[in-house]
A and B are shown apart, each in its own frame.
Chain A
Amino acid sequence: EVQLVESGGGLVQPGGSLRLSCAASGFTFSSYEMNWVRQAPGKGLEWVSYISSSGNTMYYADSVKGRFTISRDNAKNSLYLQMNSLRAEDTAIYYCARWWSSGWYSSFDYWGQGTLVTVSS
């Protein structure tokens, strides 16, 4: 069974840092591209960042570029999101999501349960 379990969320002051983790199991983690998607309270979904299966290619939403860094450790079946210079508008539930691609079709086919990040003084 595919499982994605996020951790590391919490309350942080504006300008602070936080590192999120996502532990993957039930599939060959090193074969899949991964993403972070967030959802502000009561709002819709916003894509945050992507990382290739090897970890060599990363993309970021403009709203987090230069502040957030995505990484992965395939030996540990883990995905990470280092968040620096946090702002109130970064307050959200952060989901890790597996990117499935068949070569023609693609989608976020599995999601974690999410971890809440609250940026407030």
Chain B
Amino acid sequence: EIVLTQSPGTLSLSPGEGATLSCRASQSVSSSSLVWYQQKPGRAPRLLIYGASSRATGIPDRFSGSGSGTDFTLTISRLEPEDFAVYYCQQYGSSRWTFGQGTKVEIK
């Protein structure tokens, strides 16, 4: 089973700053199956990025995804107050879906 490891565990930043979140896979992952979600407290996850770099409908262009193989990145160019949340990467393969443990982006 592919294990996804996200870093850092917590990112403390101020509104307006940029954020870089990492997702590393234990073995190579197809870019087409790498997805990012955002989750706010008490809410269901929301789809942000699919196919490693394609924004989902309605997602602002300050969110971008990149990467290939075992290393993937979610970048938030300028944090807005509503972006403070937990972010999860996820991959699919061999009839298994796995999530990273999440990165919390908190207000500094």
A-to-B contact residues, CB < 8 Å: 35, 37, 44-47, 50, 59, 61, 95, 104-114
B44 touches A47 (CB 8 A): no
| A-chain residues with CB within 8 Å of residue B95 when the two chains form the complex | 50, 59
Q: Which of B44, B95, B98 has the most CB of A within 10 A?
A: B44
Are A108 and B33 in contact, CB atoms less than 8 angstroms apart? no
Using C-beta atoms within 8 Å of the partner chain, give the interface range for chain B. Answer: 20 to 34
Alpha-carbon gap, A8 to B19, bound state (A):
39
Contact of B101 among A44, A111, A114 (CB under 8 A): A44
Asked, given contacts A44-B101, A50-B97, A59-B95, whether A106 binds B33 with beta carbons under 8 Å apart, the answer is: yes
Q: Pick from B43, B96, B99: contact of A45, CB below 8 A.
A: B99
Cα distance A50–B97 when bound, in Å? Answer: 9
B: residues with CB less than 8 A from A are 32-33, 35, 37, 39, 43-47, 50-51, 54, 56, 88, 90, 92, 95-102
State the majority secondary structure of interface residues on A: strand
B6 to chain A, nearest CB (A): 9
Query: What CA separation (Å) do A113 and B43 show in the bound complex?
Result: 7
Known: A109-B47, A111-B45. A45 touches B32 (CB 8 A): no
Residues on B with beta carbons closer than 8 Å to the beta carbon of A45: 37, 39, 45, 88, 90, 99, 102
- Whether B50 lies near A44 (C-beta < 8 A) is no
For the complex with contacts A45-B45, A47-B99, A106-B92, 9 further pairs of A-B residues with Cβ separation under 8 Å are A59-B96, A95-B45, A104-B32, A104-B51, A105-B50, A105-B51, A105-B54, A107-B56, A108-B35
Question: In the complex, A17 Cα to B62 Cα: how many Å?
Answer: 45
Q: Given A44-B88, A47-B97, A50-B95 in contact, is the A108-B47 Cβ separation under 8 Å? A: yes
- For A46, what are the chain B residues with a Cβ–Cβ distance below 8 Å? 99
Interface centre among B39, B50, B98 (most CB of A within 10 A): B50
